[in-house]
Amino acid sequence: MNQPLPPTPSPKKGGGERAGSLAPAASAGASSVLSPSLLRGGVGEGFYDAVVIGAGPAGAVAARELARRGCSVLLVDKSHFPRPKVCGCCVNGAAGESLRRLGLSHVLANGVQLRDVRIGAGRHAASVKLPGGVSLSREAFDAALVCEAVKCGVQLREGVTAKLGEPNAGTREVFVGQESVRAKVVVVASGLSGNDAMPEAGSRIGAGVVVAADLVPPFFGPGTIFMATGRGGYVGLVRVEDGRLDVAAAFDVAFVKAQGGLGLAAEAVLGEVGWPRVLGLAELPWKGTPALTRRAKALAGERWFAIGDAAGYVEPFTGEGMAWAIASAATIAPIAARAVQHWDDAHRRAWESAHHRVIGQRQRVCWVVSRVLRSPTLTTAVVRTLSALPILSRPVVRALNRSSASRSHGTPV
């Protein structure tokens, strides 16, 4: 363990059998993007240096980084990849920079380059330049990251739920479906519902759906994020790589109830800003999330660490969740690799302080933005100001794109 990092494997030419074929496979709804030879093996002898629970961006990147440090890694996800996920699907400049530093820029190759964000409040709208990001469906993005982890030697189990067990004789037990396995370290990356995080009182819930390309009004052109803000929440719309329109929202629970459902709530918010209607939007199969803003009871314990959304989350208006997830994965890897060699409570403290430094400060900024959005008057005032003086948005956009990449990768290995 902790041997020098091997060079990052480069993607195979011609798109590679796996990574390059992700977008079509995702659209076709294939059961797995991985070749059968990569799926053999199961839990094996039941003992690993590291088990990673959850294969979203946080888990897949952490598993890969641990494998690159010489650890034997089992990555478990309750879903099969490619799988959709309620998300705005915008990978911002900071996330792109983190991926570049990890040698993973190519996973974004099929993404749509983003130019700007159009924010609507009441009948006012402002366009703000937002370079550096791409939109990419979560089916394609997450499956590509999982493939990269497997290429580095990570063993993958799909379609199985995992649960953290108790510490036992220098290891931690993990229940993987019906089986019990042991690991020197467990990384909990199971998203919003993971790690028993406590929702903030009055937190909004998330919602999302994807609209087929032929139903999308031309108004919603590629390269622009459309953000409609309203009384009961906000709705973001963006074209992804195959022309479909990803729709992701955050709503007050009472608003959803009053409107009669997630789809009707989205139509109400879009109606407030007067943008073209997406016909049949309310009837599509909307998916909801648990309360969004939540704080983890603990970020780590004996032989386990929580990362990504499982370590706490704030409403997604600024679209940084994947940047935080990737930054937390890159930051935890050296700490967890050291913990594999020898457990010491100092590793827990190291992660708590790194999380505070790399993610916590950014989440506080996002929390303040989410509070401003609760006031329609304030939101309209901000949108009117930005409309008149778009230059005012520049420092915010620069900060968003800079984000935590440098801080996370500055952590000593």
Ligand X SMILES: Cc1cc2nc3c(=O)[nH]c(=O)nc-3n(C[C@H](O)[C@H](O)[C@H](O)COP(=O)(O)OP(=O)(O)OC[C@H]3O[C@@H](n4cnc5c(N)ncnc54)[C@H](O)[C@@H]3O)c2cc1C
Buried b (16+ CB within 10 A) or exposed e, 134-168: bbbbbbbbbbbbbbbbbbbbbbbbbebebebbebe
User: How is residue 32 annotated by DSSP?
Assistant: -
Q: Does 134 bind ligand X (CB under 6 A)?
A: no
Classify strands 304-306 and 179-188 as parallel, antiparallel or unpaired. Answer: parallel
Q: Given the complex with ligand X, which of 58 and 154 has the nearer CB atom? A: 58
Q: Residue 4 CB, nearest distance to ligand X (Å)?
A: 27
Q: Does 147 bind ligand X (CB under 6 A)?
A: no
Buried b (16+ CB within 10 A) or exposed e, 253-274: eebbeebeebbebbbbbbebbe
Greatest Cα pair distance, the chain, in angstroms, is: 64
**Contact assessment for residue 266 and residue 235, using Cβ atoms and an 8 Å cutoff:** yes
Q: Residue 301 CB, nearest distance to ligand X (Å)?
A: 17
Q: Given the complex with ligand X, which of 121 and 248 has the nearer CB atom? A: 248
Site string for ligand X, 94-123 (x = CB under 6 A): ------------------------------
- Work out which of 53, 140, 216, 278 binds ligand X, going by CB under 6 A: 53
Q: Given the complex with ligand X, which of 195 and 393 has the nearer CB atom? A: 195
Q: Given the complex with ligand X, which of 58 and 102 has the nearer CB atom? A: 58
Alpha carbon distances (Å) from 254 to 228, 236, 281: 19, 20, 20
Sign of CA dihedral 183, 321, 316, 144: negative
Q: How many residues bind ligand X (CB under 6 A)?
A: 41
Cα separation of 351 and 204, whole Å? 28
**Contact assessment for residue 272 and residue 228, using Cβ atoms and an 8 Å cutoff:** yes
Q: Residue 322 CB, nearest distance to ligand X (Å)?
A: 3
- Among candidates 207, 209, 211, which has minimal Cα distance to 250? 207
Proportion of the chain in helix, strand, coil states, percent, rounded to 5 = 40, 25, 35
Q: Does 233 bind ligand X (CB under 6 A)?
A: no
Q: Residue 199 CB, nearest distance to ligand X (Å)?
A: 13
- Work out which of 11, 20, 57, 111 binds ligand X, going by CB under 6 A: 57
- Work out which of 20, 308, 312, 334 binds ligand X, going by CB under 6 A: 308
- Work out which of 25, 58, 117, 339 binds ligand X, going by CB under 6 A: 58
- Work out which of 106, 319, 334, 354 binds ligand X, going by CB under 6 A: 319
Q: Does 132 bind ligand X (CB under 6 A)?
A: no
Residues sharing a CB contact under 8 Å with residue 390, sequence separation 6 or more, in sequence order = 126, 127, 128, 129
Cα separation of 378 and 210, whole Å? 30
Q: Given the complex with ligand X, which of 26 and 322 has the nearer CB atom? A: 322
Q: Does 296 bind ligand X (CB under 6 A)?
A: no
Q: Given the complex with ligand X, which of 1 and 367 has the nearer CB atom? A: 367
Q: Tokens representing 348?
A: 């827990």
Site string for ligand X, 273-292 (x = CB under 6 A): ----------------x--x
Q: Does 373 bind ligand X (CB under 6 A)?
A: no
Q: Does 265 bind ligand X (CB under 6 A)?
A: no
Q: Residue 192 CB, nearest distance to ligand X (Å)?
A: 6
Cα separation of 77 and 66, whole Å? 17
**Contact assessment for residue 226 and residue 237, using Cβ atoms and an 8 Å cutoff:** yes
Site string for ligand X, 176-205 (x = CB under 6 A): -------------xxx-xx-----------
Q: Does 334 bind ligand X (CB under 6 A)?
A: no
Contacting range for ligand X; rule: CB under 6 A; set: 38-46, 255-263, 296-304, 312-320: 312-320
User: How is residue 357 annotated by DSSP?
Assistant: I
Alpha carbon distances (Å) from 151 to 12, 19, 39, 43, 137: 11, 10, 12, 18, 21
Q: Residue 391 CB, nearest distance to ligand X (Å)?
A: 24
Residue type, 95: A
Q: Residue 395 CB, nearest distance to ligand X (Å)?
A: 20
Partner residues linked to 304 by β-bridges: 186, 301
Partner residues linked to 367 by β-bridges: none
Q: Does 321 bind ligand X (CB under 6 A)?
A: yes
Site for ligand X in 60-79 (CB under 6 A): 76-79
Contacts with ligand X, residue ranges (CB under 6 A): 53-59, 76-79, 85-90, 161-162, 189-191, 193-194, 206, 208, 248-250, 289, 292, 308-310, 316, 319-323, 325
